[in-house]
A and B are shown apart, each in its own frame.
Chain A
Amino acid sequence: MNTVLTRFTAAGRFVIRDYAVGVVLVAVCVYLSVRSPQFSTAANVSNVLDQVSMIGIITMGMAILLVSANFDLSVGGMVGLATVVTAKVINDQGLAVGVAAGIGVAALLGAINGIIVTKLKVNSLVATLGSGLAYTGLALLWSESTPIPVTDTALTDFMNTKMLGVSMPAYFFLGAILLATWFLHITVAGQQTYAVGANAEAARYAGVRVELIRFIPFVLTGLFAGVASIILTGLLGSGVPTAASSWPLQVVAGAVVGGISIAGGRGTIAMGVLGVLLIGIINNGLNLLNFDAAYQNIATGAILVAAVAVDSALQAFWRNRPPTPNGGSPGAASELTGEHAPSDGSVGASAAPVRA
């Protein structure tokens, strides 16, 4: 009986501590379905999924990157360049080569970011701020600053196809979720990513190839950005060099609202998905309730700050209730070193949460 109770409270703590955003998401959905009759219609659900899919796909890469304690602000420039390449190559060489070229270019740009960070030892924030500007510049140069229409409409037709009432981009988002979950939560590489993000030196002591493990998430982010570029090219029917310029902040906002720590070592794919969905649904709700589009920016910003503040408060709350008897100084150690003590449950969220 007692153990049942303990398990129940442990599960409750798990949900509230790590997935509070999920609770908020449910509450927002309930509120919106009451306030707006359109909200829960199939058309609107499909609409929301369309809107969040591209950002969501890139967020999957960013989630892994944030866990490894790095950052990528260049995804806007990356998508801009990839979409220009996709449009040009499709016009010259055909659809298949164009799609491959778009994804390949984005993955390559991600790899360049990875090399700048791991080999040249440039802080990832600075490195990708710089590379993002350069990628945008290349995209503008190559497109002569105008959208490049894709003559073949096959890609556009495909992206607008609906399957079971849901359009194609959502399926790509689902695929990205599965791929990212597999990488981060099932493979050895995923565990090593957490290790490097939490304590790179300890990982090195244990024989982890720290540089390689830091490099891979950059390539994955590029790869996911490439897939999003293909979708974007299809939906717009052309390669638009600056169409994604606001994406980097949206992507980071989604991941952080979900509860992924920018300090590294903490967060799950599920958190990233919930964060993206929450922002998308709130924006959709503001739309349905006839708020001006400018309110969407205000709302996203407010949610971002509120989410991190609530998360900090929750983390502090549980840190100050020492769950660890016997010697170790749960509060003291982190206060003394100023170290942010991340949650242990983030390691392998797919496994049952194990609490001390």
Chain B
Amino acid sequence: MPSIQPVLSTRGLSKDYPGMRALDGLDLDLLPGEIHGVVGANGAGKSTVIRLLSGLQEPSSGVILIDGEPVSISSVSTAESLGISVVHQELPLLPNLTAAQNMVVGRERSRLLAPARKRRDQATYRRAAAGLPGAPAPASRLETHGLYAWQMVAIVRATADAARVLILDEPTSSLTVDERNALHERVRALAANGLSVLYVSHFLDDILDVASTVSVLRDGRLVHRGPTVDLDEESLLAHMTSGTGASRAGDVTVQPLRSASEPSARTSNAGGQGLVLDDLNVGEVVLPHLAVRPGEIVGLYGLEDSGARDVVESVFGLRPRTGSVRWAGHSVKANPRDAISRGITLVTGDRKRAGIASWSVEMNHALPRLSQRPLLAPAPRRSMRRETERSIQEFRVKGRAGQRFAGLSGGNQQKLLLARWIGTAPVMCMLLDEPTHGVDVGGRRAIYDQLREFAARGNAVLLHSTDPEEVVELCDRAIPFASGRPLEEIPRDDLDIDALEHAVRASTRHQSSDLEVTP
């Protein structure tokens, strides 16, 4: 027994699903004021831990103890009354309500017909959000804010009541480095006040940055626990994937990272001049010129709302635009169907928007091909199955063609949404919008490898990402974006995380000083 009484402990915590054990005998101790990291590949059991501790599901066996007393967490409200709050990765907030309303909604203790106490709630919110950089104003509606603000509101909501344990589920997956640092600062401050934090992530650098202790899960089992000071990313990754786990998981293919570009090997005449954008206007966003040659991966890097996403979405035709978009010498109309018929596709990391959760893996895989066929032709069921199985093999998707899409882990969903486009046209231009959002490190590497190979075969790739690491890792050159304008292009030789962040920061600082000058 540790000398300090843990706030939250589990003993032999297990969860069985038909045909598999998702969590196998987890022993965990969370001390007061501790930031405890939990890492693991997709499917290692992290989300099961969260579901069991937050009352979304009940364990098959084992116990959960609060202050040493066994408790049964049968619902979310039980968890909350025990002082356990969760910030879910999907941030289930209501965009049509204000920040303060989101903090209290569903937790109002007063009777239903009592008047809503907006002013009191806003004051509470203001107090709880004090010191949270970038938290939206209490009376502003969430739909007007970006993901970081949502994250802040979720944290305010989770900590506004007398929470003793805060569970963070992949809290940084949509944040920039600066935002991440601000978030970590806040988490440390909360921990210093005695809050215990369970920080669940697959971003190893985040865990090493903020957690004092880390538990590593693999295939539902605890495989390592120890202080983070003894670890670095390589040793942590080794714990996550070592032994037979990697090959069995199929999800994690750890290879030494290949150098991002061998441009000399990438020249091809198919695809003509590639993707050429001229005088592109999308709402407030302006892009005078951009060309992506076949075989090239070009990155647009920017923070949320930098305008880079608008460019990518407008090329695919999801947003109205003016200006010219040409691919392989042909002009492309502003609708997804025309784009697709010419070989331009968009793969977004927002898998809820791109995949149909209730459908089978096979049907999700087939949909782009179906959309190109004559409407009254019979749906080609046999070839649909065959093509899906080929993609599953090629991209090492852990899953079956007949399975529900929602049952795949995030990384595997993403691989499938990428794989389904490959081969729909002889030469393609693939647009990527945060393609590895919420995908674990092994899955990311596998996706990067596939994309490099795809580009090397003479296809063009235009990437939008808010993750500078991803841009550096993948791109031959990058154009930073800020405030709806492209900044100076960064060639391969100068492309690193510092260069990208510096460019964007320099431009936003410039902007804000402009603002200060104007009365």
Contact = CB atoms under 8 A, between A and B. Distances in A.
Interface stretch (A29-37, A116-124, A318-326): A318-326
B56 A331 contact: yes
Contacts of A208: 337, 367, 370-371
Interface string A157-189: 000000000000000000000000001001111
A218 B383 CA distance: 31
A92 interface: no
Given A207-B336, A332-B56, A188 B367 contact: no
Given A205-B348, A206-B371, A327-B47, A333 B356 contact: no
A188 B398 contact: no
Contact of B377 (A188, A203, A266): A188
A347 interface: yes
A195 B376 contact: no
A344 B404 contact: yes
12 contacts: A187-B376, A188-B374, A188-B376, A188-B379, A195-B367, A328-B404, A328-B408, A331-B56, A333-B406, A336-B90, A354-B362, A356-B402
B318 interface: yes
Contacts of A206: 340, 354, 367-368, 370-371
Interface string A311-342: 00000000001111111111111011101011
A202 interface: yes
A356 B367 contact: no
B402 A354 contact: yes
Interface in A338-356: 339, 341-344, 347-348, 351, 354-356
A187 B402 contact: no
Interface in A186-227: 186-192, 194-195, 198-199, 201-209, 216
B381 A348 contact: yes
A324 B47 CA distance: 13
A93 to B, nearest CB: 31
A325 B353 contact: no
A333 B408 CA distance: 13
Interface residues of B, number: 59
Most buried by B among A183, A187, A188, A333: A188
A191 B369 CA distance: 11
Given A192-B371, A326-B409, A327-B409, A209 B358 contact: no
Given A189-B375, A351-B381, A344 B360 contact: yes
Contacts, number: 169
A341 B406 contact: yes
Given A187-B378, A198-B356, A330 B407 contact: yes
Interface of A: 183, 186-192, 194-195, 198-199, 201-209, 216, 265-266, 321-333, 335-337, 339, 341-344, 347-348, 351, 354-356
B407 A355 contact: no
B250 to A, nearest CB: 11
Given A322-B17, A327-B410, A204 B336 contact: yes
Contacts of A186: 378-379
B85 interface: no
B354 A198 contact: no
A329 B22 CA distance: 12
A328 B407 contact: yes
Given A206-B371, A330-B407, 7 more contacts: A192-B375, A194-B359, A198-B358, A205-B354, A322-B18, A336-B90, A347-B363
B243 interface: no
A206 B412 CA distance: 18
A344 B377 CA distance: 22
Nearest to A332: B56
Contact of A187 (B19, B42, B375): B375
Contacts of B90: 333, 336-337
A324 B403 contact: yes
Given A195-B356, A325-B22, A331-B56, A348 B379 contact: yes
A325 B19 contact: yes
Contacts of A329: 47, 51, 56
Contacts of B515: none
A341 to B, nearest CB: 6
Contacts of A326: 20, 22, 43, 398-399, 407-409
B18 A323 contact: yes
Contacts of B353: 199, 201-202, 205
B368 A347 contact: no
Nearest to A350: B381
B354 A324 contact: no
B357 interface: yes
The 9 A-B residue pairs whose C-beta atoms are closest, nearest first, are A324-B407, A327-B409, A207-B371, A207-B340, A189-B375, A354-B402, A325-B20, A206-B367, A325-B17
Given A205-B336, A324-B406, A327-B47, A333 B381 contact: no
Contact of B404 (A194, A336, A356): A356
A341 B407 CA distance: 12
B346 A205 contact: yes
B368 to A, nearest CB: 5
B88 interface: yes
Nearest to B398: A326
A333 B357 contact: yes
A335 B56 contact: yes
A188 B358 contact: no
Contacts of B374: 188
A4 to B, nearest CB: 17
A347 B360 contact: yes
Nearest to A199: B356
B127 interface: no
A318 to B, nearest CB: 11
Nearest to B421: A206
Interface in B399-452: 399-400, 402-404, 406-410, 412
Contacts of A356: 360, 400, 402-404, 407
B256 interface: no
Contacts of A195: 356, 359, 367, 370
Contacts of A351: 381
Interface string B90-112: 10100000000000000000000
B22 A188 contact: no
Nearest to B355: A202
A31 to B, nearest CB: 35
Given A265-B358, A327-B410, A336-B88, A203 B379 contact: no
A218 to B, nearest CB: 15
A336 B376 contact: no
Nearest to A339: B357
A190 B381 CA distance: 13
Nearest to B346: A205
A163 B413 CA distance: 54
Contact of A189 (B376, B398, B408): B376
A328 B367 contact: no
